[in-house]
Amino acid sequence: MPPATGWTGSRQLLRRLRNVMAGAGTAQQRLDQIVRLIAGDMVAEVCSCYVMRAGEVLELFATEGLKPEAVHKTRLGLGEGLVGDIAAHMRPLALADAQSHPNFAYRPETGEEIYHSLMGVPIIGAGRVRGVLVVQNRTQRNYTEEEVETLETIAMVLAELVAGGQLIDPSEPLAADPAAGHQFRIEGVRLSGGLAIGSAVLHQPRITITRMIAEDPQVELGRLRSAVTGMRSALDAMLAAPDVSAGGELRDVLETYRMFAEDRGWLGRIREAIQSGLTAEAAVQKVLNDTRARMSQITDPYLRERLLDLEDLNNRLLQHLTGTMATAETALPEDVVLIARSMGPAELLDYDRARLRALVMEEGSGTSHVAIVARALDIPIVGRARGVLEKVEPGDRVVVDADNAQVFLRPSDEIVDSFEQSVRAREAAQRHYAALRDQPAETVDGTVVSLNLNAGLLIDMSNLDVTGADGVGLYRTEIAFMVRSEYPDVKVQTELYRRILDRAGNHPVTFRTLDVGADKKLPYFEHEDDENPAMGWRSLRIGLDRPAILRQQIRAMIAAAAGRRLRIMFPMVTEVAEFDAARELVNAELERCRRHGSPVPAPLELGTMVEVPALALQLPHLLKRVDFLSVGSNDLLQFLFATDRGSPRLSERYDSLSPVVLRLLADIARHGEKAGVPVTLCGEMAGRPLEAMALVGIGYRSLSMAAVSVGPVKVMLRSLPLVALQSYLASALDRADHSLRGVLQAFARDRGVIL
Ligand code: PEP
Ligand code: MG
């Protein structure tokens, strides 16, 4: 049933549009006819089309209803007025009372003051805003969701005319920047560290859809069906590839992703769009545009990740439909720097890894699947590099300095030279670290420090071999939970832990029980909306309140150990009683094993993280109960300084090398030594050579860090006169300074410690 406003149905309108677009006359004449047609069909007094011009200015190109003299005269900047707002946010607006909207900008030449309601949608082509399509009514009309959708469909069809180079000279640059073609430095966030130089390859091959309006929806539905089948088989083949099927979590990530390919809601929306008169590829594109528009509103990180996966699938399906399947393997340059809006893990794996040097994305977060996979494969990524897609051209030279979260487009020769030097120095350092692999981490005066790895993916386990580390000091089990779409049962967990222990061989592995909550959310678990999530219902607090989860994890670890050595560590312990309660659960599981005659781990070591200051004040009691401690300085410092560890604004405010921190950490180490309980430190500071030097100076003999840090920390240790450092630090710790960083740097410089 057509709505009461007198719609003639979008399919009919699309047909008429097609006739006009294919008809005679100049592009301008056709656009004039089109706005008339839309206004009539939508029972709107006004229909206007704004086109994006150089300098990111939206120019009124055609109108039915506004004053004709405003055409080619009215111009709005990106973000200016409601039209600019629609373009800037790439999202539709439907307002019954447009003039009361804070962004309303009145343009007298248009005569639009008499129109109260407004509905507008962006015209998007090749992922960019090409213009805005608007209808207006005199009355305060409440446009329906269906009407917005129809206008979006029309805008998609119009994109062809607007972006097709007939309305404006195709050589007119869209970029605002007069310096287009010049070098740029873009800042983002570091999602996976490293340095790389290469040629820009745009990830999305900018597929051009040539046919928008369908003759027969049944034919299009058939094309969709075969494309979906083709896409599913390609995903299956990817899952079966040897490096993926052996890759543990890599496989889980892809399987989650494969699930989306079965998603009825998504395919249903595409079918609906086909029924409205679009071709299959135009329908997929429409769903992709809608998804992007919705994405810009969503802040929940988990949901955003799922939408990114979905976007990835949309693209994949589009490629199957248009036959543009090749990721241009043949045309790929030797050194590829991939540039993408966002990317799913499967897409990254499509590229030839031997050529892939780095990835730069407009979006992305550290917990995104693609970041987890890239880190495991050692591919540097800079995420949230805003504007990179606008500025880059395929083939441009790009320098990616992911360590410092920056990207240089078309860099000058000096920048390239200096980066090539850095890359060479880095490679030389890697060779040096590799040569030290089997050398002990021993100070010049003979103290040996145990260096261990922080890990979270099965693929990380190969780093034991690469670095020569003593063991895994922190295995973050929650990462495996985070990359799955459903809760892994005891069987799945047992298999995972067994594979980790198998790969570790004789190296000890310290499994940390689930540390979720705060910024680590599980898709299938209801998290509390605490006001301060870092201090909320998280980690062991969840484990003790929902003992089934913790019990199953412990059961799986015990089964995986199958009589071998097992180290279990509890996170976020705040009082001794919580450790006791957790230990009770372990004891009950051991008892269960004995009853069933299954092997119990030997030895079984239980410990806690020290992440909450309150626990650091109960050490004498705690140390009587535990087999080991590991200081989680990331959390301990955030609670000590009352400073959100993720806040960029506060990240430099307090220093991890302040005398207060070092006194507290020294105290923990001293208590451990006195009680004969080994103490490790596994927060980020352990992996920074200067911090590691200070830690060893105040008594730490075991550190756990990311694999890339093992080499630099070992080099530091092998040049460190420890006894001299100890006496140097003795008096310094009592100071009231903001930080001892300068003092420690001076020591290192004077005593030849390599940092
Ligand atoms: C820490 O808090 O220091 C720690 C190692 O744990 P995570 O970073 O996983 O919170
Ligand atoms: Mg922590």
Q: Where are the domains of the chain?
A: 6-175, 206-324, 436-751
3-state SS assignment for residue 64: strand
Cα of 630 from ligand 1 centre, angstroms = 10
The response to whether residue 204 sits with its C-beta less than 6 Å from ligand 1 reads no
Strands (E), 42-183: 46-53, 57-64, 75-77, 93-95, 117-125, 128-137
Determine the atom of ligand 1 nearest the C-alpha atom of 476. 9
> Probe ligand 1: pick from 609, 638, 688, 700, max atoms within 8 Å of CB?
609
Indicate if the pLDDT at residue 328 is higher than 60: no
- In the chain, count H helices and then E strands: 28, 22
656 confidence band (pLDDT: 50, 70, 90): very high
Q: Considering every ligand atom shown, identify the ligand nearest to the alpha carbon of residue 631 and give its number.
A: 1
Query: What pLDDT, on a 0 to 100 scale, did the predictor assign at position 509?
Result: 98
Determine the atom of ligand 1 nearest the C-alpha atom of 634. 3
3-state SS assignment for residue 30: helix
Mean of the per-residue pLDDT values for the chain?
86
Determine the atom of ligand 1 nearest the C-alpha atom of 682. 5
The response to whether residue 380 sits with its C-beta less than 6 Å from ligand 1 reads no
Distance CA 543, CA 105 (A): 55
Higher pLDDT among residues 38 and 462, named by residue = 38
Indicate if the pLDDT at residue 561 is higher than 60: yes
Give per-residue pLDDT as tens, 398-417: 999 998 889 999 888 888 88
Which residue, 198, 82, 94, 191, is CA-closest to 143? 94
Higher pLDDT among residues 247 and 705, named by residue = 705
Among protein residues, the one with the nearest Cα to ligand 1's atom 1 is 632
Q: Is there a shared CATH topology between the 206-324 domain and the 436-751 domain? A: no
CB 743 within 8 A of CB 732: yes
Edge-to-edge order in the sheet of strand 57-64 = 75-77, 57-64, 46-53, 128-137, 117-125, 93-95
Distance CA 695, CA 704 (A): 12
The response to whether residue 680 sits with its C-beta less than 6 Å from ligand 1 reads no
Determine the atom of ligand 1 nearest the C-alpha atom of 633. 3
Query: What pLDDT, on a 0 to 100 scale, did the predictor assign at position 338?
Result: 94
Determine the atom of ligand 1 nearest the C-alpha atom of 630. 5
Give per-residue pLDDT as tens, 304-316: 666 666 666 777 7
Indicate if the pLDDT at residue 330 is higher than 70: no
Give per-residue pLDDT as tens, 89-105: 888 999 999 988 888 88
Kindly state the average pLDDT of the residues 245-263. Answer: 62
Indicate if the pLDDT at residue 126 is higher than 50: yes
Q: Considering every ligand atom shown, identify the ligand nearest to the alpha carbon of residue 454 and give its number.
A: 1
Distance CA 82, CA 61 (A): 16
Query: What pLDDT, on a 0 to 100 scale, did the predictor assign at position 244?
Result: 58
232 confidence band (pLDDT: 50, 70, 90): confident
> Probe ligand 1: pick from 656, 682, 691, max atoms within 8 Å of CB?
682
Higher pLDDT among residues 730 and 677, named by residue = 677
**Structure tokens belonging to residue 442:** 């021993």
CATH architecture for the domain at 206-324: Orthogonal Bundle (1.10)
Query: What pLDDT, on a 0 to 100 scale, did the predictor assign at position 559?
Result: 98
296 confidence band (pLDDT: 50, 70, 90): low
The region of weakest confidence among 67-76, 136-145, 322-331, 545-554 is 322-331
3-state SS assignment for residue 136: strand
The response to whether residue 683 sits with its C-beta less than 6 Å from ligand 1 reads yes
> Probe ligand 1: pick from 539, 610, 611, 631, max atoms within 8 Å of CB?
611
Burial pattern 640-661, b for ≥16 Cβ within 10 A else e, equals bbeeebeeeeeeeebbbbbbbb
Please, what sign has the CA dihedral across residues 390, 396, 400, 404? negative
**Structure tokens belonging to residue 106:** 């009145």
Kindly state the average pLDDT of the residues 658-667. Answer: 98
Give the helix, strand, coil percentages of the chain, each rounded to 5.
Answer: 50, 15, 35
The response to whether residue 639 sits with its C-beta less than 6 Å from ligand 1 reads no
Mutual orientation of helices 10-22 and 27-41 as an angle, nearest 10°?
Answer: 160
Higher pLDDT among residues 116 and 421, named by residue = 116
Give per-residue pLDDT as tens, 146-173: 899 889 889 988 887 887 777 877 666 5
The response to whether residue 455 sits with its C-beta less than 6 Å from ligand 1 reads no
Query: What pLDDT, on a 0 to 100 scale, did the predictor assign at position 648?
Result: 62
24 confidence band (pLDDT: 50, 70, 90): confident
* Complete DSSP assignment for 254-319: HHHHHHHHT-HHHHHHHHHHHHTTB-HHHHHHHHHHHHHHHHTT---HHHHHHHHHHHHHHHHHHH
Among protein residues, the one with the nearest Cα to ligand 1's atom 3 is 632
Indicate if the pLDDT at residue 327 is higher than 50: no
The region of weakest confidence among 238-252, 582-596, 646-660, 669-683 is 238-252
The region of weakest confidence among 38-47, 307-316, 460-469, 702-711 is 307-316
Fold for 436-751, please state it: TIM Barrel (3.20.20)
Region for 446 from its dihedrals, namely left if φ exceeds 0, alpha if ψ lies in -120 to 50, beta otherwise: left
Query: What pLDDT, on a 0 to 100 scale, did the predictor assign at position 12?
Result: 82
Indicate if the pLDDT at residue 707 is higher than 70: yes
Cβ neighbours around 525 below 10 Å, total? 14
**Cα 107 from chain centroid (whole Å):** 41
Higher pLDDT among residues 562 and 253, named by residue = 562
Higher pLDDT among residues 196 and 287, named by residue = 196
**Segment (H or E) for 12:** helix 10-22
Query: What pLDDT, on a 0 to 100 scale, did the predictor assign at position 79?
Result: 86
CB 223 within 8 A of CB 321: yes
Which listed CATH number (3.50.50.60, 3.55.40.20, 3.30.450.40, 3.40.50.2300) goes with 6-175?
3.30.450.40
Higher pLDDT among residues 289 and 327, named by residue = 289
Query: What pLDDT, on a 0 to 100 scale, did the predictor assign at position 671?
Result: 98
Query: What pLDDT, on a 0 to 100 scale, did the predictor assign at position 251?
Result: 66
Region for 277 from its dihedrals, namely left if φ exceeds 0, alpha if ψ lies in -120 to 50, beta otherwise: left
Distance CA 106, CA 85 (A): 14
Query: What pLDDT, on a 0 to 100 scale, did the predictor assign at position 261?
Result: 62
Query: What pLDDT, on a 0 to 100 scale, did the predictor assign at position 329?
Result: 45
Indicate if the pLDDT at residue 25 is higher than 90: no
The response to whether residue 611 sits with its C-beta less than 6 Å from ligand 1 reads yes
CB 372 within 8 A of CB 238: no
The response to whether residue 149 sits with its C-beta less than 6 Å from ligand 1 reads no
Return the amino acid letter for 624: K
Kindly state the average pLDDT of the residues 189-205. Answer: 86
Cα of 634 from ligand 2 centre, angstroms = 6
The response to whether residue 452 sits with its C-beta less than 6 Å from ligand 1 reads no
175 confidence band (pLDDT: 50, 70, 90): very low
Mutual orientation of helices 576-596 and 547-561 as an angle, nearest 10°?
Answer: 50
Residue 422, classified by CB atoms within 10 Å of its CB into exposed (0-12), middle (13-18) or buried (19+), is middle
Active site residues: 369, 682
* Strongest mean pLDDT among 133-137, 297-301, 705-709: 133-137
The response to whether residue 478 sits with its C-beta less than 6 Å from ligand 1 reads no
Higher pLDDT among residues 308 and 330, named by residue = 308
255 confidence band (pLDDT: 50, 70, 90): low
Q: Considering every ligand atom shown, identify the ligand nearest to the alpha carbon of residue 476 and give its number.
A: 1
